[in-house]
Structures are given as C-alpha cells and as structure tokens.
Chain A
Amino acid sequence: GENVEQHPSTLSVQEGDSAVIKCTYSDSASNYFPWYKQELGKRPQLIIDIRSNVGEKKDQRIAVTLNKTAKHFSLHITETQPEDSAVYFCAASSGNTPLVFGKGTRLSVIA
C-alpha cells in the first residue's frame, strides 16, 4: 500500500520568510496530492491540491510542486505571516483508496 513520508516534523521561520515542506510517496499509481492546514483545536482544512498531470500549482502565497519521477511533492509558502502558524499535512491517493496522510509538520512563524 501507499506510504507517505513528510519532513520536517517542525519548522520555525521568521515572518516574511518562505517555508517549504516536503513529502515523498511510494505508490506510483497515486495521482492526487492534497495539502491540509490544521489550526490548534480545529479541523484540517484543504488549502491546495495537485493532480499528477500538473507539475506546479499556485494560489496566492502558497504553491505545490510535484515530481512524479522522484515521487515527491512540496508545499511552498512565501511571505509567511503569523496566521500561517499551524500543522500542515500532505496526503496521497490513487483515487481508488482513501487518502494516506503524512505525519504532519508544525510550522511556527515568528513575528
């Protein structure tokens, strides 16, 4: 089955700097890669996703890149703000099986 590894587990950046979180997956059949943001005590929220027919996707300050050959994908947050502080989860799925989540990255943006 699918296995998703996420790094780093914790990340601290200065406000205004960029943050990058990386995930690798094992199943070459996976074709859908979402990212979730979970604030303390709240539900995970889908913030961006990418499918295997696309190499990069942007939405304002966040972007996701996908390298199918290397089986890894990354979340990039530019111009970080204190409200970006949260736990971020990556996930992967082939569409035929439920999402497999990484263990999460706790991002702290220091003002």
Chain B
Amino acid sequence: SQTIHQWPATLVQPVGSPLSLECTVEGTSNPNLYWYRQAAGRGLQLLFYSVGIGQISSEVPQNLSASRPQDRQFILSSKKLLLSDSGFYLCAWSALASHSEQYFGPGTRLTVT
C-alpha cells in the first residue's frame, strides 16, 4: 500500500531563516505530488504541484520554491522566511493518470517567530 511521509512534524524558525520541508511517497511510481499550505482555521491553498521529476508548476507567487529531485521526493524551500509563512504545510500525492483521489501526508506545522 502507499504511504506518504513528511518531516519535520513541527518546526519553529525565526524570520529571515531558510526553510526545507521534505515529502516522500512509498508504494507507488510516477505520482503527481502537491504542496499545500493551511493557515490557522483556514482552507487549503495549493502552492506547487509536480507531474514528474524536475517538473514544477507554481500556483501562488511568493518567497517559496519547490523541487522534485527524485520520482517520489518533493521538497519545499525558502531562502528567507516571513511571518506570513506560518501555517500547516501538507504534501499530497495522486496517481499520475489524473489529479483525482488525492491523499495527504501528516503535515508539518511551521511557526515563524
């Protein structure tokens, strides 16, 4: 069966520091991968998605970037965090054939101080 991992689970970072969040998927090949951000008490904001290695689509222009160095690895980065970057970051995957049936990872709760 498929499993999706995210780490770290929680993170507290000062404003202006860099960020690297990692997501890996097991048990499937060539998945679509997604990064979402959820502010406290709010909805799901799609940040990036990828349909293959090195293929990244950005949905929201901001100080974040994403990379997909391997088939089942998706990384979210920032060079300098802002206070507004605080939130719950969720990675998700779906089968390559379509964007349906999406499954979320456990999430990383980021607090920027």
- Give the interface of A toward B (CB within 8 A): 32, 34, 42-46, 49, 89, 93, 95-99, 101-104
Contact = CB atoms under 8 A, between A and B. Distances in A.
Given A44-B104, A98-B34, A103-B43, 10 more contacts: A32-B98, A43-B90, A43-B107, A49-B101, A93-B99, A95-B99, A95-B100, A97-B99, A98-B59, A99-B99
The 10 closest A-B pairs by CB, nearest first: A95-B98, A32-B100, A43-B104, A103-B43, A101-B44, A98-B99, A93-B99, A104-B43, A44-B104, A98-B49
B96 to A, nearest CB: 12
B70 interface: no
Nearest to A51: B100
Report whether over half of chain B's contact residues are helix, strand or loop; otherwise say mixed.
loop
Contacts of B104: 43-45
B52 interface: no
Interface of B: 32, 34, 42-44, 46, 49, 59, 90, 98-107
A62 B107 CA distance: 26
Contacts of A101: 43-44, 46
B49 to A, nearest CB: 5
